[in-house]
Amino acid sequence: MSSPVNAVAAPAASSPAASSASAGATATAPAPAPISTPVLLAAMLRTSSKISDLFFSPGRPPLVEIDGKLAAAGIPRALTAEDTRRVAGDLIGNNKNALESLKEHGSCDVSYSLPGSCRFRVNVFMQRSTCAIVMRVIPSKIPDFTALSLPAELGKIVQLRNGIVLVTGPTGSGKSSTLAAVIDKINQEQSYHVLTIEDPIEFLHQHKNCIIHQRELHSDTTSFALALRAALRQAPKVILVGEMRDKETIEIAMEAAETGHLVLSTLHTIDASKTIERIVGVFPMAEQDGVRNRLAKSFRYIISQRLIPRKGGGRIAAIEILKSTLRTREYVEKGEGEGKTLLDAMRVGDDEGMQHFDGEIERMIRERIIDMDTGLAYATNPGNLRLELADFTEEAAASAKVELLETTSA
């Protein structure tokens, strides 16, 4: 039975001469035998326990990403266009919405489960008229606060009764894991109805003290906005929206927060200030003052994340926390100005549970968790951070000089 994506990525018809040459080549070099997709995935996962993503691209062997770097895994040979087309077909299965999206838009998102192992968030996309695939590994066990080294301040989210909590950061920064840990903590400590709207469903939550219903885009609902609107009639206390993608979703999320729901969601923004700009900027100029006012009243936390390589391997999350206070609400509502920025508020907000990226990066450098060059590369303001670390740099240089002298004398 042919792969369901063959119709999308079928190779162009060749000339009779090319066909004859191809037939001759086939006689001397038979096509590689197809590999079972589950077997291939299992072999790739055995490479390391720290795999974050799997990649399938014609012309390269299967690749895994470990601590931000790619390595070959599974099979040594390069994949063919037919290999990736067949794997894509196995992953998509009979998902008609995904197939239609791949045909019409050139990409689709699906979830895939490897029995007895883990689940994946899958993106299949077309490039150079062939299929390529990226699979994000979703652990079968939901991570907790300790495993993720999340700040204790985030535990207070569990006690919130309403408002908006946003987790932001680039793709692959751990936003989904952080939200999953928060939902799991709510599930253990509260007795609520929790509703999630995801594309696709990532972590599978079991009923504990709460009942948790998880809706997936396309299979359970046609859009985030429609599902969020329906959620207002489904009596949840907590609503998780996979991503604030458009004006309508943002508007309904604010409405839900204003009517007594706790709304958790994500945005692909780099810090708290850019998050406010992104949300406000979605609306027409005439509505932006009103949106600022509503957002100032409804937001509770904006948590931004960056994954930074550790010394000796692995990665660690630097987390920025903006909390709703009298000061930060004023800056959100009236806009930032000289000496009145959200970053300024976070810098002096330690006692209120706030922290900023460069402060966390400075701490990690001083504690020798990350090296200085790496920290500066991930800093918001590398110049200022370098000045803050001047004493540390001098001490490190002096220590290195002493070690060199001791080595020479020995």
Mean pLDDT of 226-247: 94
Q: What is the pLDDT of residue 338?
A: 86
The H-assigned helical ranges of 59-139 are 81-92, 96-105
Tell me how many degrees the CA angle 307-311-314 measures, rounded to the nearest 5.
50
Q: Quick check: 304 and 354 in contact, CB under 8 A?
A: no
Tell me how many degrees the CA angle 373-374-380 measures, rounded to the nearest 5.
95
CATH classification code of 6-138 = 3.30.450.90
Q: What is the pLDDT of residue 218?
A: 83
C-alpha to C-alpha distance for 309 and 372, rounded to whole angstroms = 11
Q: What is the pLDDT of residue 318?
A: 96
The H-assigned helical ranges of 33-129 are 37-45, 81-92, 96-105
Beta carbons within 8 Å of 385's beta carbon, 6+ residues apart? 358, 361, 362, 375, 376, 379
C-alpha to C-alpha distance for 196 and 205, rounded to whole angstroms = 10
Give which of 121, 107, 116, 104 is closest to 38, Cα–Cα: 116
Q: Is the peptide bond before 200 cis (omega within 30 degrees of 0)?
A: yes
Question: How far, in Å, are 31, 131, 383, 385, 410 from residue 317 at the CA level?
Answer: 44, 32, 21, 18, 41
To 10 degrees, what angle do helices 81-92 and 96-105 make?
Answer: 140
DSSP for residue 337 = B
* Confidence band for 404, pLDDT divided at 50, 70 and 90: low
Q: Quick check: 99 and 93 in contact, CB under 8 A?
A: no
Taking all residues of the chain, what is their mean pLDDT, rounded to a whole number? Answer: 89
User: Sign of the C-alpha dihedral, residues 142, 145, 151, 155?
Assistant: positive
Q: What is the pLDDT of residue 312?
A: 87
* Confidence band for 398, pLDDT divided at 50, 70 and 90: low
Q: What is the pLDDT of residue 192?
A: 96
Mean pLDDT of 221-231: 91
pLDDT in tens, 264-279: 999 999 999 999 999 9
CB atoms within 10 A of CB 392: 14
pTM to 2 decimal places: 0.83
Cα 35 to chain centroid, rounded? 30
Q: Residue 227 corresponds to which amino acid?
A: A
Q: Say yes or no to pLDDT of 356 above 50.
A: yes
Mean pLDDT of 377-401: 86
Calculate what percentage of the chain has a pLDDT beyond 70. 88
C-alpha to C-alpha distance for 398 and 386, rounded to whole angstroms = 17
User: Sign of the C-alpha dihedral, residues 85, 89, 92, 94?
Assistant: positive
CATH 3.30.450.90 domain span(s) along the chain: 6-138
C-alpha to C-alpha distance for 94 and 42, rounded to whole angstroms = 22
Q: Say yes or no to pLDDT of 169 above 90.
A: yes
- CATH number of this structure's domain 145-392, picked from the four choices 3.40.50.300, 3.40.50.1100, 3.30.365.10, 3.30.870.10: 3.40.50.300
C-alpha to C-alpha distance for 390 and 122, rounded to whole angstroms = 45
